[in-house]
Amino acid sequence: MQSKSLLSTRGQMFIIGFGFWLFLAFWSISAFWQHVDSLKPTYLWPARIGACSAEFAILAMVFLKCFNKHIGTRKWALILGTALIVAVVAHTAGLRGLDEATTKQTDTQQRLGEQLTKMSREQMQGTKRKADVAKSAQKELADAAVAGGEAVKDSSIFPRWYLNGWMYGVLFALSAIALAVPLGMMGNRLDIDADFDGVPDHIQAEREARVSECFARLEAMARTRGKQDEIDKWLAEDFEPEIKETRPGK
């Protein structure tokens, strides 16, 4: 006799999904928060919490997939949750690449500033145009900083117009859409599957009623007539083939 599993199938699915969500959350939220910090918003923690909308939506999808009774909700929670994971991973990769490019560009600008300062000091020795030389060095450094910022954006996997504002709202909008679809399907009472066998409960009830009716009529015919050939003919004409396999003696 087989021993009963400590966790149900749905419980195992949830633990696996939740474990994967934890790894994804650690990887993505750290990148999002680092990017939010670089923007220096007035209200830092509300901005950080708002950046976690996609991770919340993904966790909700895991829960709906494992425990919701509606077949359509479970199906679309899996599809949209997977799509949202891909979007989060893509944005995280983009931000990681952006941070790497920013770090390299900052180092380059720092070295350039040191070199310009050294050159300015050398040029100002024995000359009366000290102010002009200093001003020129500052302008070169400022131009290099502006060009560096644009170069960082060009190095990203996302287009510049997306980085200039759209990326801050796209994930939130995708999360709202991904949640709205399965939540809206929860109002459909025709796809309720309380025993999680993949068949709507109302269809199972109809099948069970037909099978019960079949055996009741079979039993009545056997008692009154005892004609097996009529029973076989009636089964072949009116009922599904699989019901014949349940007839006694077959």
Residue 248: the pLDDT is: 47
Residues 240 and 170 in one domain: no
Residue that is last in its domain, among 170, 190, 210: 190
Residues 57 and 148 in one domain: yes
Residue 1: the pLDDT is: 46
Task: Please list the rounded mean pLDDT of every run of 10 residues in the chain (250 residues).
Answer: 69 94 94 86 90 94 94 94 94 79 60 61 54 56 54 64 74 93 89 85 79 74 61 62 49
Number of domains comprising the chain? 2
Residue 82 main-chain phi, psi, to 5 deg:
-65, -45
| Pure H helices in the chain | 9-39, 44-50, 53-67, 71-124, 130-154, 160-161, 167-185, 201-224, 228-238, 241-244
Cα angle 36-37-42, degrees, rounded to a multiple of 5: 90
Residues 22 and 95 in one domain: yes
Q: Which domain holds residue 72?
A: 9-190
| Residue 250 falls inside a structural domain | no
Residues 33 and 131 in one domain: yes
Residue 119: the pLDDT is: 58
Residue 2 main-chain phi, psi, to 5 deg:
-75, 135
Residues 164 and 234 in one domain: no
